[in-house]
Structure 1
Amino acid sequence: MNQMTLQQAIAPLNLRSCLISTRGELTFEHYRDDRTASEIAKINSCTKSVLSSLICMAMDQGLLPAPSSSVAEFFPQLRRDPDTRKQEMTLEHLLTLSAGFRWSEFGGLNSFPKMTRSPDWVEYVLEQPLADAPGIRMEYNSGLSQLLSAILVQASGMTTARFAEQYLFGPLGIEEYQWEADPQGIHTGGFGLKLRPADLLKFGQLYLQQGRWEGAQLVSRERLARSVTTAMHAEAPRRGGYGWHWWTDSYLLAASDGKPPAAIPFYYARGYAGQFIYVLPEPQTVVVLTQDNKRGKNNPPADVFSEHIAPLFVNPNWL
């Protein structure tokens, strides 16, 4: 497969964008139209991975304590909660979505919409009962991302967006963005950020380069590596694992020439309606996909990465 056949394969999918960078060079670029390249758009839960980078930076700078530190250091009301297990919550439990709250993002408890309709999102999250002791299992919970954003505000003395401008967006040359905030003015940790596709590619490239950008180490190599390493198994029906607000997985290559099948590990940011940033340490590739197709359970969006892009890596010289 080559660039032309890839272009033909994705043409019917109505993607907003598909960008591929290999070894630091843009090797494939597709936009739905001329406007898409320059306009910012919602990245939905990919916001979580951006927040993860900011938390790592704050830890590197000594603004935040170790990942094993108690969340109650930032929210003392947890020490007064009748369920004393809440005092066991750590920063890492928030990052790995394993804090133990009884929460279903959509459907069931419908926790996420209820949070966004509440007058104080942070208090809403903290007041939820526990279903498990912290650290037992992953439960997808954008409320935990909101707690992390609030913690970053406490630790840094600036808004989450201002911290991002100073330590991430500025160095990467990201000049235009929009970021929603809760009623207390805390920027949304789990969603609500708008960026251009090319800026998502820069963010992925920063991670591929192990936190280094134009000679500066924006995120320490050690902290970055820990953040994208599987910490929890993903909850069904999702596959793979979860690190610090990053998903982890691998693509299985078919056996050939008598060799056993091999797997290409990768990690990725994922947002509702088809927003993705894939980082593949080998073969030194970043893939950005953006869409705006809101399809139901009976008509799920195509898995563009596994169906059309990952097979390209069978042939490392496809470009």
Structure 2
Amino acid sequence: MRLQLCFVPLLAAVWLTLNASPSVGGDSNADRLPRSSPESQGISSEAILEFVNAADQQVDQMHSFMLVRHGRVVAEGWWAPEAADKPHILWSLSKSFTSMAVGLAVEEGKLSIDDKVLSFFPDEAPDDPSANLKAMTVRDLLTMATGHDPIPHMEPDDQWVEKFLATPVVKQPGSDFLYSTPGTFMLSAIVQKVTGETVNDYLKPRLFTPLGIKDPRWDKNPQGITIGGYGLYICTEDIAAFGQFLLQGGKWNGKQLVPEEWVAKATSLQIDNPDGPHSGNADWRQGYGFQFWQCRHNAFRGDGRDGQICLVLPEHDAVIAITAKTSQMQLQLDLIWKHLLPAFKDSPLPEDKTSHARLKSKLKMLRVKSAE
């Protein structure tokens, strides 16, 4: 799956509910994402039930699922013993948040994506840096095109910035996609260098607090730098709120939190990746943005190891948040394309109390498979 710099144990798993009432959803913040019935937002309870059944039966271990349509939560759930108020590790979905930190630092004039990486770390640079290393820019870090092959490998006792810069850059930066968690760490290190704050602290007043994300935990490396490429823990609804914020072009409650231009660039095609990771899976060969994957069906996503997904479907005004512990990430997306994508309608549907009741009944019985 994805390269990780250290191992962080996953949390246990969860209880699933779905309800049209704004008061349901554990620690969900109904003010930030109001609740409504699926039919009122143009999607049938029956289609959601088909998706839940398929995911429960076919995916190794689902932990949570939340569907937002037209800014309203129409389905939400947690496989027991998971819960709405339990933060979940995001693994590489953390990268998409790091992208927002870079965009904010650019807006504040603290850096440019065309700045050379070496310019931020004169004391950590090798004595005789190669021409390729000298050419590497922030943009190359954002697009996973640093020119490394293989990518740097960090050990806990390493000085991570020095190790990254000492690793041979064998290709022209910007020429080839190669997925690099260490590259995202360097973005985090650059933001910390130019702002004097870790990415976690920098984002709290600018993004996390406005989105209602309470007490986000984000692990640091041995030198005290937010890891950036993984290590962030937040709740399922926090993921969904982040997706809705992206869908709204970086705006939340009428305020532009991150420049719309940055969100548009970050979530759109910046580099092709026909030979990228998971090359046998269609949704990993659609191209890459600034720490976001492109998908089929004109969608985009942030994702992470073991099935953490923030999927945004602009054409359908929808966001899907999933946490899990599975290697079947393409299957997760395939089930969305099969069951949910065709069910999005342009107008509200007649309320279907029978199907809604069946859906609720099914969701109450869901449990993580390993916990049975």
- Shorter-chain TM-score range: 0.7 to 0.9
CA contact (8 A) 1:102 1:128 kept: no
Identity %: 29
TM-score (norm 1): 0.86
> Which residue of the partner structure matches residue 63 of structure 1?
110
- Tell me whether 1:219 sits opposite 2:258 in the alignment: yes
Distance 2:142 2:128 in 1: 22
Cα deviation for residue 102 of structure 1 reads 2.5
- Tell me whether 1:91 sits opposite 2:131 in the alignment: no
> Which residue of the partner structure matches residue 21 of structure 1?
68
Q: What are the residue-to-residue correspondences of 1:156-305 with 2, within 5 Å?
A: 156-234=195-273, 235-236=275-276, 237=279, 238-250=284-296, 264-293=297-326, 295=327, 300=328, 303-305=331-333
Once the two structures are superposed, residues 81-132 of structure 1 have per-residue CA deviations (whole angstroms, 9 ceiling, x without a partner) of 341221111110010010112324xxxxxx4xx4033421111111100120
Once the two structures are superposed, residues 137-196 of structure 1 have per-residue CA deviations (whole angstroms, 9 ceiling, x without a partner) of 011111111111110011111121110112111111111321111111001010111111
Runs of 5+ consecutive residues of structure 1 not aligned to the other structure:
105-110, 251-263
Q: 3-state DSSP class of the match of 1:45?
A: helix
Q: 3-state DSSP class of the match of 2:197?
A: coil
Q: 3-state DSSP class of the match of 1:278?
A: strand
One-letter amino acid matched to 1:48: K
Q: 3-state DSSP class of the match of 2:333?
A: helix
> Which residue of the partner structure matches residue 79 of structure 2?
32
Alignment RMSD (CA, Å): 1.9
Higher RCO by CA contacts (8 Å cutoff, separation 6 or greater):
2
Runs of 5+ consecutive residues of structure 2 not aligned to the other structure:
1-45, 350-372
Q: 3-state DSSP class of the match of 2:315?
A: coil
Q: Which runs of 4+ in 1 moved over 6 A?
A: none
Distance 1:149 1:312 in 2: 35
Q: 3-state DSSP class of the match of 1:58?
A: helix
CA contact (8 A) 2:154 2:160 kept: yes
Distance 2:271 2:339 in 1: 27
Change (3 A) 1:163 1:74: same
- Tell me whether 1:45 sits opposite 2:73 in the alignment: no
Distance 1:154 1:101 in 2: 23
Distance 1:162 1:118 in 2: 24
Tell me the number of residue pairs that the alignment of Structure 1 and Structure 2 aligns: 292
TM-score (norm 2): 0.74
One-letter amino acid matched to 2:56: A
CA contact (8 A) 1:72 1:79 kept: no
CA contact (8 A) 1:79 1:87 kept: no
Picking from 136, 155, 158, the partner of 1:119 is 158
One-letter amino acid matched to 1:215: G
Q: What are the residue-to-residue correspondences of 1:68-79 with 2, within 5 Å?
A: 68-76=114-122, 77-78=124-125
Cα deviation for residue 35 of structure 1 reads 3.8
CA contact (8 A) 1:103 1:141 kept: no
Cα deviation for residue 9 of structure 1 reads 2.1
Q: 3-state DSSP class of the match of 2:210?
A: helix
Distance 2:155 2:94 in 1: 16
Q: 3-state DSSP class of the match of 2:306?
A: coil
Change (3 A) 1:302 1:268: closer
Q: 3-state DSSP class of the match of 2:173?
A: coil
> Which residue of the partner structure matches residue 5 of structure 1?
50
Distance 2:144 2:54 in 1: 35
Change (3 A) 1:281 1:147: same
Once the two structures are superposed, residues 228-263 of structure 1 have per-residue CA deviations (whole angstroms, 9 ceiling, x without a partner) of 11111123313111110000122xxxxxxxxxxxxx
Once the two structures are superposed, residues 187-213 of structure 1 have per-residue CA deviations (whole angstroms, 9 ceiling, x without a partner) of 101011111111011111110000000
